[in-house]
Amino acid sequence: MKQISAINDFVIKFANVNGSGSASANELFAKAILRMGVPVSPRNIFPSNIQGLPTWYEVRISEKGYLGRRGGIDMMVAMNPQTWAADVEEIAPGGYLFYDSTRPRAASELRDDITVIGMPLTEICNATYSDPRQRQLFKNIMYVGALSVLLDIDAQVIEQLLGEQYKGKEKLIASNVQALNLGRDFAREHLKHPLSIRVERAHRVGQRVFVDGNTAAGLGAVYGGATVCAWYPITPSTSVVEAFMGYCAKFRRDAEGRHNHAIVQAEDELASIGMVVGAGWNGSRAFTATSGPGISLMTEFIGLAYFAEIPVTIVNVQRGGPSTGMPTRTQQSDILACAYASHGDTKHVLLLPEDPRECFEHTACALDLADRLQTPVFVMTDLDIGMNQRLCEPLAWDDARRYDRGKVMSAEDLEQKDFGRYKDVDGDGIPWRTLPGTHPTSGSYFTRGTTRDAYARYSERGPDYIYNVQRLLKKFATAATLVPQPVPRPAARRTRLGVIFYGSTSPAMHEALDELAGQGIHLNALRLRAFPFPASVKEFIDAHETVFVVEQNRDAQMRSLLINELEINPAKLPRVLHYDGTPITARFITQAITDHVHEAVVAPQENPS
């Protein structure tokens, strides 16, 4: 049998039971490799319950810096008897299986094309600890210790991380280090080490930070000037608001130490968006965070904010749908629901961050755009970005930056100028607004969801309705010039093939592009960062014969949006779709595009008539 052999380039997957305390140990493992200067990209695949169901933690180690899922497992740490058969089957030929051999496994439960490494973890823990909870928790640290020997991970780095995690709790540090060394001692004495896959120190991390997208979005809301947040807890968006709360407690205080922000946990999603709409109307920068089911409940208020032209920012951390769907799995399946949220003719601004840094930037940007455009703006992140830690460039803020509050009339303006709340005076579709209390006698108007004329007076006249909805289209066209612009990645050679992608698909896509180029398949790539689409998106599609659209949903929602909004021939946009709830892999994208290209090459040509 030929073993997989690799240095700083392999995938290891941990199969555990939810609630067993494995998450912190697995994260410790990933961070230790990161501290050794080797880029890692961990992904936690967990169930939507508190305890007892299977959970997996997949760690991609890549000195080249690839941060997407590669596809394939080189080593499985199998700690869950419930999923044993599937976990063993997932290992690539030549790979490695590490398991708790306290209960011996029959030969029929193993494979002869992988290396099997058994360690009696439960037996050692039972002999060392009397407390049942300690036995479980320290078993996790013990296998981290054993893996550090097998994979040549620096034990001092792990001890340093434990010291940081339990700073000031010397007994906890000592007990964890003891468990770590129990695992290391057994591995050194009884297991062949190091393996043919291992870690070497490198210097490939640089100044990048390791953070999850939800934390970054919460911080972005603080830097973006949000002072009001109303929300209702829902997986996987809850930690956006929890981060915002933590940062506000630190940064959103006046000179006397009093809070100068408001965070309200509402009774449901409908109430939360209603509060945000009210705060935006009143002049506050306000946002909510939710996921697909919450968007479904919020659509009536979203439509009101669109038609009444009230600034609202919504962070949508997408998950698998429809209905309750897969609460703890990732998808990009709310694109159409958010782009056209509410009944009637509506179009909304969507921002599409690719990583935690852009979650930070786009959340702050969304608050500016919502004020500038007087409309709802969605930050379309997802569970993969939101709840998994990822390497990204440091979060940066220009202290000279000033908030864009848009067209707000002052008391002086009201005394000198005509005020029509829904009047397009500048030709960009964006009207001027006033804030309550600006002037004692001027600038007031009735905010309504019904039709009205340019001066906010109730009207059912067709021309008044048409004026308003056409002006809203003009405003949407203006938005296309203000949103974050797409990012091109040109191929090394001239090509008639292109590919469009967005959001969390980005890291896997970049690796796939390298792999495809190595196979002689060259594609120009364009990463979308927002809707409405800037003019460059149509120009990119027109410049190519075939443009693949890669996304993580069943119905090719971004492709549908491109076809509908840009009037593209559907035959020109082949789908590459991944929607099983796990993050898309580079191998999946590579295979899908390769198959399509080869099919096109061998397809019979029609004879000209």
Map residue 369 onto helix, strand or coil.
Answer: helix
What's the pLDDT score for residue 609? 45
What's the pLDDT score for residue 47? 87
Asked if 434 and 399 count as a contact pair (C-beta separation under 8 A), the reply is: no
What's the pLDDT score for residue 384? 98
Please report, to the nearest 10 degrees, the dihedral formed by the alpha carbons of residues 77, 169, 247, 268 taken in order: 60
Can you tell me the distance from the alpha carbon of 261 to that of 251, in angstroms, rounded to the nearest whole number? 10
608 in a domain, yes or no?
A: no
What's the pLDDT score for residue 606? 54
Whether 226 and 165 share a structural domain: no
What range does the domain containing 122 cover?
Answer: 6-198
Of residues 308 and 19, which shows the higher confidence score? 308
Q: How many CB atoms lie within 10 A of CB 47?
A: 18
Q: For the chain, what is the mean pLDDT?
A: 96
The H or E element containing residue 499 is strand 497-502
Can you tell me the distance from the alpha carbon of 174 to that of 131, in angstroms, rounded to the nearest whole number? 17
Whether 147 and 273 share a structural domain: no
Can you tell me the distance from the alpha carbon of 562 to that of 550, in angstroms, rounded to the nearest whole number? 12
pLDDT higher than 90, residue 209: yes
247 in a domain, yes or no?
A: yes
Model pLDDT for residues 65-94, shown as the tens digit of each residue: 999 999 999 999 999 999 999 999 999 999
491 in a domain, yes or no?
A: yes
523 in a domain, yes or no?
A: yes
203 in a domain, yes or no?
A: no
Overall average pLDDT of the 600-605 stretch: 64
Whether 460 and 512 share a structural domain: no
Overall average pLDDT of the 588-600 stretch: 95
Q: Which amino acid is present at 355?
A: D
Whether 452 and 598 share a structural domain: no
Tokens of 246: 């933590």
**What percent of the chain has pLDDT above 70?**
99
Whether 51 and 176 share a structural domain: yes
Confidence band (pLDDT; 50, 70, 90) for 605? low
Q: What are phi and psi of 530, to 5 degrees?
A: -165, 160
17 in a domain, yes or no?
A: yes
Asked if 272 and 230 count as a contact pair (C-beta separation under 8 A), the reply is: yes
Overall average pLDDT of the 50-65 stretch: 92
569 in a domain, yes or no?
A: yes
Whether 517 and 590 share a structural domain: yes
Whether 476 and 492 share a structural domain: no
Overall average pLDDT of the 476-482 stretch: 98
Q: How many structural domains does the chain have?
A: 4
Whether 241 and 370 share a structural domain: yes
Whether 386 and 534 share a structural domain: no
Q: Which of 149, 166, 198 is the last residue of a domain?
A: 198
pLDDT higher than 90, residue 608: no
What's the pLDDT score for residue 604? 59
Can you tell me the distance from the alpha carbon of 54 to that of 85, in angstroms, rounded to the nearest whole number? 13
Whether 222 and 314 share a structural domain: yes
403 in a domain, yes or no?
A: no
Model pLDDT for residues 30-56, shown as the tens digit of each residue: 999 999 999 999 999 988 877 789 999
Model pLDDT for residues 14-36, shown as the tens digit of each residue: 999 998 889 999 999 999 999 99
Whether 303 and 241 share a structural domain: yes
pLDDT higher than 80, residue 602: no
